[in-house]
Chain A
């Protein structure tokens, strides 16, 4: 496991604190809007225009384009709002778990089963 952000005290974990909440405000606000079907439709119609409406930074826009979940977290995304973006992409928590850990979905699920049984 790589530690991409050495300022975070727990490896592989992005604590969503005041600094991140400020950095990711527009991004999270956009994702919060995805609670509404009309917002999801508007995003799907023209993602760039929708990102612009919420003042996303270039890095955030790139991470949205690339479906880069880790990138979104590093740019201030909160998992609770990023999850709504994942929902829009029809991805569930295990799908995005696999994306973030760089595993296949089956390997990610197998890891959960091992850990759940106390084997790991």
Chain B
């Protein structure tokens, strides 16, 4: 069986890509954010996971509202980035892992998750910024990535409990894959933030820190929130917490927090970073 060795959460906002492109990591604004990353990079470079299952949301690059999948999974050998209308530099292709992807897709549909299965999928900053952050200089070519996309843009959106269940089903699928490969899980986006409306600029530091605690020790607590609760507590885009919750659903063994960082604001968001090590039950 494939071995799930750990997980990482990170923000994925476009401003991070611009800061890296402009070499602004050591400026007073960005330093408290970027200083969080070296221990996570070190862990990834030491543990060398073969595959990353990466939860993110598409911000209107691959999916338009003509057809909006609730849950989508990439099953390609390669994924491409593209212009998002923002002027963020595009990055080199991302390597896929089609065999495990298809295995997960089959298992998920059998388990009642009606995935949109994508043989072609443009990946936006939601997926590429975390990879650039973990492997600076875009040195992520050796890592195989399986994109799992959760709708956070158009209601109805899957609720936190459902995203947690999706994570559990993905964990089960990975564990049933006949291979000795190692897998790490990335939950991206969040935490509290609101981009739109008169309430733009909403942030909730206390809630963000509580979420990070609960994510480690008691993730079931987070599944009691509805998406509307998240909007009220942390702002409209706090629904992106669902990607972190899905990540946590994948881990069913012993979870140890190795590292964390939290800094707010980064652009308009509370930016949380967690590194969790995962030991599979015997």
Q: Taking beta carbons and an 8 Å cutoff, which residues of A are in contact with B?
A: 1-4, 9-18, 21, 25, 28-29, 31-32, 34-37, 40, 69-70, 73, 78-84, 87-88, 92-94, 96-97, 100-102, 108, 111-113, 115-118
Contacts and interface: CB of A to CB of B under 8 A. Distances in A.
Where chain B touches its partner, the secondary structure class is loop
Contacts of A69: 196
B205 A100 contact: no
Contacts of A4: 198
Contacts of B153: 16, 78, 80
Nearest to A118: B205
Contact of B198 (A2, A96, A112, A118): A2
Given A1-B199, A17-B155, A70-B198, A94 B268 contact: yes
Given A35-B85, A79-B195, A97-B195, A10 B228 contact: yes
Nearest to A119: B205
A27 to B, nearest CB: 11
A4 B199 CA distance: 11
Given A78-B65, A81-B60, A116-B265, A16 B155 contact: yes
B154 A16 contact: yes
Interface string B20-59: 0000000000000000000000000000000000000001
Contact of B197 (A34, A37, A84, A100): A100
A4 B198 CA distance: 9
Size category of the B interface is 35 or more
A71 to B, nearest CB: 12
A110 B267 CA distance: 12
A35 B61 contact: yes
Identify which of A10, A31, A36, A37 gathers the most chain B CB atoms within 10 Å of its CB: A10
Contact of A100 (B66, B87, B156, B200): B200
Contacts of B198: 1-4, 11-12, 70, 100-102
B231 A13 contact: yes
A94 to B, nearest CB: 6
